[in-house]
Each structure stands twice: as C-alpha cells, then as structure tokens.
Amino acid sequence: MSHISIHWFRKGLRLHDNPAFMAALQGCVEIYPLFVLDPSEKLAGINSCRFLLGSLKDLDCSLQNLNSRLFVVRGKPEEVLPRLFQKWKVTRLTFESDTEPDSVDRDRRVEKLAKEHDVEVIQKVSHTLYDTERVIEKNNGKPPLTFNRLQTVLQAMGPPEKPVPAPSLEDMKGVQTTGLKKHEEEYGVPTLEELGKDPQSVGPELYPGGEQEALRRLDEHMKRTGWVCNFQKPETSPNALNPSTTVLSPYIRYGCLSARTFWWRLTDVYRGKKHSQPPVSLHGQLLWREFFYTASVGIPNFNRMKGNSVCVQVDWDSKPELLAAWREARTGFPFIDAIMTQLRQEGWIHHLARHAVACFLTRGDLWISWEEGQKVFEELLLDGDWALNAGNWQWLSASAFFHQYFRVYSPIAFGKKTDKHGEYIKKYLPILKKFPTEYIYEPWKAPRSIQERAGCIVGKDYPCPIVNHEVVSKENIKRMKLAYSKRSPDPSESKGKVKGEKRKAVSVIDMLTKKKKVGPD
C-alpha cells in the first residue's frame, strides 16, 4: 500500500537518528513534515523562542535539500491534525514518543482522532537512550531511585540502540511534497515578532539553534579526545568566563542532537583509552538525564511537591518580594546575582551555578519552594527540560534523591573557590567591577570611601543583602530537620546510604560538596 504521511516534529528537531521519520518514508509517495505551534501553550523566554525558531529554520533547510519543506501551522494539534488528514488525504502519522504527562495525554487524544480518520499512527522512542517504560518494567515495575540502581538495570539491558542514519535523497526517491508554491506565506517559520517577542530585547546569540549547529559543536568537542576522556563534571567551573562544559544540553533538550548519537560518538572516543566513568563522565551526564526521565515517568506528580511519593513535604514560605529579588538578580549577593544575570541574558548557566542559586532560593537562604524556582528555570533556560528541571530542583532542595540537607552552598565562599578575583562577577555585574578583590563577593563590607571610589554605593546603586546567610542557613537546617522527622521511612534508603554504602556509586552531590584541592568541590 502506498502511504501519504505526516511526520509530526515536536522535540526531535533533526533528521539524524529519527526512526519515526524513517518509518514515515516506508512505502510513502507523499510526505508532509509538520510542526504545530500551539498558542494555548505558554511560550518560554525570548532566548528559548529564538533557539526554537532557529532550529525550525535549520530543519526546513535540511528538508529542502531532500526536496521537501517543513510545514509550520498554528493551533491545537487535536484541531489542526484532523483538518490536515482530510486536506492532504493522509494515511499515516509518525512522531517521536514523548514522556511528559501533558504530552502523553495529548498524544492519546491525537491517536484516537487518527483512528477515526483511518490514519495509521507510528511512535518511535528516540528522545532518550532507552525506552523508559522498559527500564521501569525491568526494575520490577518501579523507577530506579538511585543512580547505582539505574546503572544495574541498564547493564542488564545492554547498551543503547545505535542511532539511525539520516535520510538521503535515495531514501526520498519516489516521495514528493506537494503544495510548495505558497509555502512561505502559509507554512513558513514565524519571526520573533509574530510570536509577540521583541527582538531588540534579546542578547547575543551564543548558542544558535538547529541540528547543523548541534552536529558541528559535537564534532568540535569530540576532536578534544584528551578533554573528553578526562572529563569530570564536579571539576568543571561554575563561573568560568567561557563554558567549561559542552553546552550541548539545549541541543539535546530540543532534539537537535540525538542522545544516542552523542552516546555512541563518546564510545568511539573512549575506545582503547583510559577515561573517566559515570556518574562524573560525559556518559554519566547522559545517564543522569536517563535517571530523571525514568523517574518522571514512574512517579506521579513529579513536578509538584504535593502528591509526589518521593518528595519531602516542606512548609516552604511564600515570599513574593524575595522571590522577585532572586529572579531579577537583586539579592545583594554578587555571586548569586551574576549567575541569575547570565541566565537571563544567555539562557544557560553551569551545572554548579544552578546548584548555588537553587540552594540559595530553597533550603539554604530564602526558604522558598523549589516549584517556584522550577518555573523560573523553565522560562529562562535553553535546556529547561521538564523532567530534568523537576528532578534537579527536588535534588538541590534536598526534597528527593539527595538527603544531606545540612550541606549548604555558601553564596560567598563557593564562587571564590574557582574565581577568587571575581572576574565572573565583574563581567555580569559591571556596577561592581571597580571593587577591590577582597570586597567583590561582599561589597557591603567595603568602607564607604572604597564604595565611593568604586562608583557604587551599596544600598543605593547595588542592593544590600536580602538575608543574613550565616543566620538563616542555620535556621533553615533546623526547619529541614523538622520536615524530615515527619517523613515516613523510605525502604529504598538504608541507614548506610547517606554515608555512601558503595564507594563507586557515590552521588555527584557528595562529590560536589566534599572539600577537594582541585575544582570547586
């Protein structure tokens, strides 16, 4: 049977390792690559919008090289797709499986509608290394709640599947895309203005979206074989002036880069060489992603405190004015404010910088719910992945997965470990750039004469600290201890776990918070 196919792009904005797209081509005479902009969904921040539009333009270019185009339409998928089924006489719909609860519900509704229109539906797993449902099944129907347990389950399952090659002109032989004459007017990629965003308000584009840029960056990093083999996440710097990690996470989040492609490219680099191991290696970073994806599938209400079986129930305070100060980089702690400024300007901050500002917002200083921080990161991060965002916020607030709540990041000392002269602060908070090194992390301690010479009076030109860290952090540890005392015992946690029952499986947080001679940890 000859098929007319729609391949519905959502996160997998690429042609390499796209098994659902390849399935659309099987026995296909006509194909319509589709992206649906749903106006009912809340748009992320301007950096994310720009990244998405760049990714769509890049995808359209790649499809043009295959004598096709990307069709961008607006509306709810449940309303748009049935119309297109009829208009294009579609017989098959393909897409990459999604695991987010709202997306799963949407896809079920679309499948039902497709069935009513006699349209065959094919879903393929390619956004994660493994099928998360299978991982849970192999773990006796429960998501693994420790990294070590996940590794054990995955070892029994074998390595991830090899990525599928990108389609070639040969694969597209006999397949056409019609209706291209008025394509730009009807189905072109919109501009930022059309999405209601002001292009004048966006900063420099440090991380352009798209599959080609993702593969270029991957190639660039894979050439650094020594760096790749020696990579250890805890020994990278949260406040380097240039990123000390790959910054491939936005490309993986949007599916411009396949996680499986990244995994196997790393495997090729590692082969025959001594290299770092999970959880701190680059393979380890992909496995952490898998860990949180699997947890998010197996734990109901994963992005909320209430109704979340693994999350400590904490009496967080509601402090709108302090939340706004944190979000808008007005805390009076230069290290925290510099990080939040970088986040807003560039859409990306280092993993350890996320640790610092997340701890500060929650259990460390402000005692504000991790759910509030999750919302801000979802809006501002280019790699604001639903599962990873929720999982990491629970971890860093010591609400789930990590329980050593008494280990608190100092908003002063932590940054000094890797940047004692405060160059990072001077870059993102130029108002402070004339402060002497001894006061750059604590400008409120500078004598008035020094503040005047620096051209910045604390309390007028730059805020006073909104809390006394030494006092509130101790109070918050007591509050966290009380929250923990009300918990039901968790059978997955043995008494020895906090101390590290297996050395090789020590959590990354343990590694990050131990005092070491090298790095910020």
Is 248 annotated as belonging to a binding site? yes
For residue 396, give Cα distances in angstroms to 8, 209, 453: 35, 28, 39
Question: Is 381 marked as a binding-site residue?
Answer: no
Does 185 appear as a known binding residue?
no
The contacts of residue 155 (CB under 8 Å, 6+ apart) are none
Q: What is the CA radius of gyration of the chain?
A: 24
Residue 173 and residue 18 in contact, taking contact as beta carbons nearer than 8 Å = no
383 annotated to a ligand binding site: yes
Distance of alpha carbon 353 from the chain centroid: 14
Q: Is 506 annotated as a binding residue?
A: no
Nearest 10 degrees: CA dihedral of 265, 270, 276, 280? 10
SS3 per residue for 45-95: CHHHHHHHHHHHHHHHHHHHCCCCCCEEEECCHHHHHHHHHHHCCCCEEEE
Q: Is 292 annotated as a binding residue?
A: yes
In 3D, which of 261, 64, 97 has the Cα closest to residue 164? 261
287 marked ligand binding residue: yes
247 annotated among ligand-binding-site residues: yes
> Is residue 131 annotated as involved in ligand binding?
no
Q: Order of strands across the sheet with 120-124?
A: 71-74, 28-37, 3-9, 92-96, 120-124
Distances (CA, A) of 474 to 339, 368, 481: 24, 15, 11
Per the annotation, does 289 bind a ligand?
A: yes
206 is in an annotated binding site: no
- Is position 490 annotated in a ligand binding site? no
Please check if 384 is assigned to a binding site.
yes
277 marked as part of a ligand binding site: no
Q: What backbone phi and psi angles, to 5 degrees, belong to 409?
A: -75, 130
Nearest to 373 by CA among 352, 354, 387: 354
| Residue 291 marked ligand-binding | yes
Note whether 393 and 498 are within 8 A (CB). no
Contact status, residue 290 vs residue 139, Cβ threshold 8 Å:
no
Query: Does 262 count as an annotated binding residue?
Result: no
Annotated binding site for FAD: 245-249, 285-292, 383-385
Annotated binding site: 245-249, 285-292, 383-385
